[in-house]
Structure 1
Amino acid sequence: MIHRRKFLQMSSSAFTALAAAPVHAQTTPAVRKSNPDKPFATHFIALQLSDADPKKQRLVLSVASNLIKEYGPDNIAVEVVAFGPGIVLLTDTSEFRALVDSLVTQGIRFDVCGNTLDTIERETGSRPKINPNAVEVQVGVGQLLSLSETGYTIVRP
């Protein structure tokens, strides 16, 4: 009986010690943030544009420009992903064409959704002419997902 009591006391003490020990949360491996065009970048931002409103387009361009000014073109990777009505920003005749071209020279990438272009072509019979500096991706939202999975922060100004 004494051995049993002593065993219970020791077990209780051991349990108490384990319960009081700090619990270390399991961590998943860090997402690898990289962009081959920006090997020294430490910040990664994707700006979503799905609206044809010129105020929103100007806001996206302003945010992109401000990020380059704040962090420097080598320290931040900025990618603007336009889909749906937002592709108006990247048409060849956009009122913001000169600003888009200027931001491209500063290292900002502009993606245009190929699915949106295909839909417009099916509905109107012609494909919109896109700024040659824009990069066509098959699925705009899929591009945002891929960027998110590689460590980009998605922002919808």
Structure 2
Amino acid sequence: MGDERIYRVVFHLDEDDDERVLLLFANVRNLMADIQNVEIEVVAYSKGVSALMRDSEYSDMIGELIDDGVRFAACSNTLNAWGITSGELVEGVDTVSSGVGEIVRKQCDGWAYIRP
């Protein structure tokens, strides 16, 4: 009998530092390799949103993770404050009303919280 549980994990990204962003990608990939029944959402706000831009150096990696079922969500408050439209984000990135609010909602719904 295998593990039938579905694990849900929300990752927090609020920096655009290369080391932090690459650590996040490694954490997500390692989690996906370790746990088969996992639902993952990466929530970006503040400087973390810049990693989700179409012209970022990470756009291909984000696209691959989206194709693998990872949800990426950008904070609408940050987008509005910085004058960024959702069309400037990597295709498939969702927007949420508030990055912090999204993380709080996920945690209240029982999601594990990871800040790489």
TM normalised by structure 1 equals 0.68
The answer for unaligned runs of 5 or more in structure 2 is none
Please say if 1:96 is aligned against 2:55.
Answer: no
Q: What SS class does the counterpart of residue 45 from structure 1 fall into?
A: strand
Please say if 1:153 is aligned against 2:112.
Answer: yes
Superposition pairs for residues 20-99 of structure 1, below 5 Å? Answer: 42-72=6-36, 75-99=37-61
More strand by share: 2
What do you get for the CA RMSD once the two structures are aligned?
1.4
Moved >4 Å (runs of 4+): none
How many angstroms does 1:44 deviate by? 1.1
Which residue, 124, 131, 134 being the options, matches 2:93?
134
How many angstroms does 1:51 deviate by? 0.5
The answer for unaligned runs of 5 or more in structure 1 is 1-39
Contact in 2 for aligned 1:44/1:153 (Cα 8 Å):
yes
Aligned residues: 112
Distance (Å, rounded) in 1 between the aligned partners of 2:72 and 2:5: 17
Change (3 A) 1:114 1:70: same
How many angstroms does 1:127 deviate by? 3.9
Identify the structure with bigger relative contact order (alpha carbons < 8 Å, sequence gap 6+). Answer: 2
* Identity in percent: 26
How many angstroms does 1:147 deviate by? 0.4
**Looking at CA atoms only, which structure, 1 or 2, has the larger radius of gyration?**
1
AA aligned opposite 1:50: D
Contact in 2 for aligned 1:41/1:77 (Cα 8 Å):
no
Distance (Å, rounded) in 1 between the aligned partners of 2:97 and 2:79: 9
Distance (Å, rounded) in 1 between the aligned partners of 2:68 and 2:5: 13
